[in-house]
């Protein structure tokens, strides 16, 4: 079973971009996931292929038209869960990524450009809105790619080492513990020598686990008091 994403975008050349490389790219070649691009411009009816118009009530920018977007949407055989990438949406987190990747139904991502989308289209077709953070991008395409990346790496068989996904930042409500590799002793360009913590070289697995847990907890408490509060509540 392949995870399928329909992408409504006025800029098809922006895909697959980073998703054609590395882990996601290999998974795409294997058929672990797939995508279809739908360009609303292909559904415009005038000779200039117009997809937008000025906003009612005045103001800056242009708004994507509901009638054209609807034709583009209806051309999709199984749209599944419909998502509009927008800074107004629910903020993407690991739990939401897991939820989106788990589902066998396809998802349809609507990438906005210009000022926005006619609200009637979003309402008529029950779009969920998802944001990738509290800042504004010039379009939804990078946001769609980030959402897809977060999901694709969770698909069965995509990550080489299946255990890794459970231990990383956010999967257990904590930030991830620090990592070290050889050389065990390293002198930097300021002539400072840095030594890998002894416990990690002790070969004592239970102590390593304990140390990593403590590091993850301390780091979370320090950097993300919001996550720390939730973590404590849930235990």
The binding site for ligand ADE (CB under 6 A) comprises: 85-87, 112, 131-133, 135-137, 140, 143
Distance from C-alpha of 60 to C-alpha of 147, rounded to nearest angstrom: 28
Provide the token pair at 5: 């994403």
Q: Which is nearer to ligand ADE, 9 or 86 (CB)?
A: 86
Q: Which is nearer to ligand ADE, 5 or 216 (CB)?
A: 5
Q: Which is nearer to ligand ADE, 107 or 158 (CB)?
A: 107
Q: Which is nearer to ligand ADE, 136 or 206 (CB)?
A: 136
Phi, psi of 160 (to 5 degrees): -55, -50
Beta carbon of residue 142, minimum distance to ligand ADE (angstroms, whole number) = 8
Distance from C-alpha of 198 to C-alpha of 31, rounded to nearest angstrom: 43
Q: Which is nearer to ligand ADE, 133 or 197 (CB)?
A: 133
Beta carbon of residue 75, minimum distance to ligand ADE (angstroms, whole number) = 23
Beta carbon of residue 170, minimum distance to ligand ADE (angstroms, whole number) = 18
Beta carbon of residue 93, minimum distance to ligand ADE (angstroms, whole number) = 13
Beta carbon of residue 80, minimum distance to ligand ADE (angstroms, whole number) = 19
For tokens 């949407």, name the residue: 73
Beta carbon of residue 203, minimum distance to ligand ADE (angstroms, whole number) = 45
First to last CA, the chain: 35
Q: Which is nearer to ligand ADE, 92 or 174 (CB)?
A: 92
Residue 107 · residue 5 · CB < 8 Å: yes
For tokens 């989106």, name the residue: 100
Beta carbon of residue 32, minimum distance to ligand ADE (angstroms, whole number) = 24
Residue 128 · residue 90 · CB < 8 Å: yes
Contacts of 46 (CB under 8 A, 6+ apart): none
94 CB burial (10 A radius; 0-12, 13-18, 19+): middle
Q: Which is nearer to ligand ADE, 25 or 87 (CB)?
A: 87
Under DSSP, the state recorded for 108 is E
Tell me how many degrees the CA angle 97-21-110 measures, rounded to the nearest 5: 45
């Amino acid at each position: 079973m392949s995870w399928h994403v329909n992408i409504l975008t006025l800029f098809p050349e922006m895909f697959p971009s980073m998703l054609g490389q590395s882990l996601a790219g290999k998974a795409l070649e294997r058929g672990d996931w797939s995508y279809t691009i739908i360009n609303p411009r292909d559904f415009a009816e005038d000779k200039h292929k117009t997809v937008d118009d000025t906003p009612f009530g005045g103001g800056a920018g242009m708004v994507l038209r509901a009638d054209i977007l609807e034709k583009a949407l209806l051309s999709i055989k199984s749209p599944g869960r419909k998502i509009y990438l927008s800074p107004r949406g629910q903020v993407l987190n690991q739990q939401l990524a897991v939820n989106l990747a788990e589902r066998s139904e396809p998802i349809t991502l609507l990438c906005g450009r210009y000022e926005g989308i006619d609200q009637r289209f979003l309402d008529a077709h029950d779009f969920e809105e998802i944001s990738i953070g509290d800042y504004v991008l010039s379009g939804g395409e990078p946001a769609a790619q980030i959402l897809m990346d977060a999901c694709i790496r969770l698909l069965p068989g995509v990550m080489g080492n299946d255990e890794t996904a459970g231990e990383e930042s956010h999967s257990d409500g904590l930030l991830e513990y620090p990592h070290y590799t050889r050389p065990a002793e390293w002198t930097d360009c300021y002539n400072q020598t840095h030594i890998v913590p002894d416990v990690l070289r002790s070969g004592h697995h239970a102590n390593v686990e304990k140390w990593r847990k403590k590091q993850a907890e301390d780091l979370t408490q320090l950097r993300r008091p919001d996550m720390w509060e939730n973590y404590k509540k849930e235990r």
